[in-house]
Structure formats: C-alpha cells, structure tokens
C-alpha cells in the first residue's frame, strides 16, 4: 500500500467498534429465566372484585393464564388489557381460564381499570402481596402460563401480544389432558 493510502485506515479503525455495538442489539438483557418454570404453580385463593372467590386449585384440568397487573402500570398493562380480554373470549370455550391478579394497588383504581377496559375474566386483588411473592414477580405486568396438571410452563415479562398468548396457550392445549 502506498503511503497515502494508509491514511484511510484512520476512519476504517472506527468500523470494528461500530460493528461490535451493532451486535449489541441482538441481545435482550430483559430476558430473565424463571426458576419456577416446570414446577407446580403455587396455589392461591383470592376474592374477585365482584365478590366471587378465585381459586387456582379449582381450575385443575384447564390451561390457566395468570396475569399480574396494576392500574398505575402505564403503558404496558393498558396495552395488554384488551389482548387479555380478546384471548379470554376466544379461548374460554376450549378449556382456558384467564385470571388477573392486581398487585400493589388501591381497590377503587383497580375497579375503574377493570370497568374501563370491560374485563370479563376473573380479576382479584392480592392485598397482602403474598401471591406475587410466591410467583417471584419482579414487576408488572408478568404473565404465567400453567398447564392442565397445574405446572408453570412459561413466563412472559412485559406487555402481552395476541401472538404471545396464542403460541403458549395453543402449545398447552395441544398436550394430552390428564
């Protein structure tokens, strides 16, 4: 290489660094594996906003989607609330239950949330925070997918999309019952 050509190595030297940084986009630091996946789902009994009891045990034999949310969790919980309602309506006749667990919230704000989004699946407050501790939630929203035998099979952090629900629920429905 001639002496004059060498100088173009100056800008070229920036390229490997830029390439390294671009590589960084491929990784997702938010993906935290849950040690609970594959283990039996912790049982709970709560009282729904309409006064009915909500018991996980009673749902044995059905695929259960447990969603932890809060009314102050804007925007993620606002984004996923319609998704949950849609999924519930689409799957309820196929042996799927959606349960919303409202944590660190006030009853009034939570009730307004349920009303505003027209949620019809069971939603209950976790007043003591015990359920969210049992499930090891880091924040809201987090969603657990539980199979017919009552084991946690997947966990999703952040707002749900129709696609995410479909993938997990369809996979669990495809498994033989019992």
- Report whether the peptide linkage leading into residue 141 is cis, meaning its omega lies within 30 degrees of zero: yes
Each residue 35-74 as x (binds other proteins by CB under 8 A) or -, in order, gives: -----------------------------------xxxxx
Give 151's contacts (C-beta < 8 A, 6+ positions apart).
Answer: 38, 39, 40, 41
- Number of residues interacting with other proteins: please give it, by CB under 8 A: 32
Please select the residue that binds other proteins; options are 2, 24, 118, 163, rule is CB under 8 A: 24
Q: Does 34 bind other proteins (CB under 8 A)?
A: no
Q: How far is the CB of 18 from other proteins (least distance, A)?
A: 5
Q: What angle do CA 165, 34, 37 make, to 5 degrees?
A: 65
Q: Does 14 bind other proteins (CB under 8 A)?
A: yes
Q: Does 116 bind other proteins (CB under 8 A)?
A: yes
Nearer to other proteins, 24 or 178 (CB): 24
The candidate with the shortest Cα–Cα distance to 146, out of 33, 52, 50, 61, is 61
Q: How far is the CB of 32 from other proteins (least distance, A)?
A: 11
Q: Does 138 bind other proteins (CB under 8 A)?
A: yes
Nearer to other proteins, 113 or 145 (CB): 113
Name the residue with tokens 């390294």: 20
Q: How far is the CB of 77 from other proteins (least distance, A)?
A: 10
Q: How far is the CB of 19 from other proteins (least distance, A)?
A: 9
160 with 81: CB under 8 angstroms? no
14 with 21: CB under 8 angstroms? no
Tally: H helices and E strands in the chain: 7, 7
In whole angstroms, what is the distance from residue 129 CA to residue 131 CA?
6
The footprint of other proteins (CB under 8 A) covers 4, 7-8, 10-11, 13-14, 18, 20-25, 27, 29-30, 70-75, 78, 104-105, 109, 112, 116, 137-139
């Amino acid at each position: 290489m001639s002496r004059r050509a060498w100088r173009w190595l100056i800008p070229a030297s920036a390229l490997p660094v830029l390439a390294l940084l671009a590589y960084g986009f491929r990784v997702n630091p938010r993906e935290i594996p849950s040690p609970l996946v594959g283990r039996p789902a912790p049982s709970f009994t709560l009282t729904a906003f309409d006064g009915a009891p909500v018991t996980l045990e009673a749902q044995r034999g059905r695929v259960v989607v447990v969603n932890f949310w809060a009314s102050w969790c804007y925007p993620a919980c606002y984004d996923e609330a319609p998704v949950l309602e849609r999924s519930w309506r689409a799957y309820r006749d196929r042996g799927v239950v959606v349960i919303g667990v409202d944590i660190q919230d006030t009853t009034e704000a939570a009730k307004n949330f349920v009303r505003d989004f027209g949620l019809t699946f069971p939603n209950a407050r976790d007043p003591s925070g015990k359920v969210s501790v049992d499930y090891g939630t880091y924040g809201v929203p987090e969603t657990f997918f539980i199979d017919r035998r009552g084991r946690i099979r997947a966990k999703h952090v952040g707002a749900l999309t129709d696609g995410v629900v479909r993938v997990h629920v369809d996979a669990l429905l495809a498994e033989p019952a019992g």
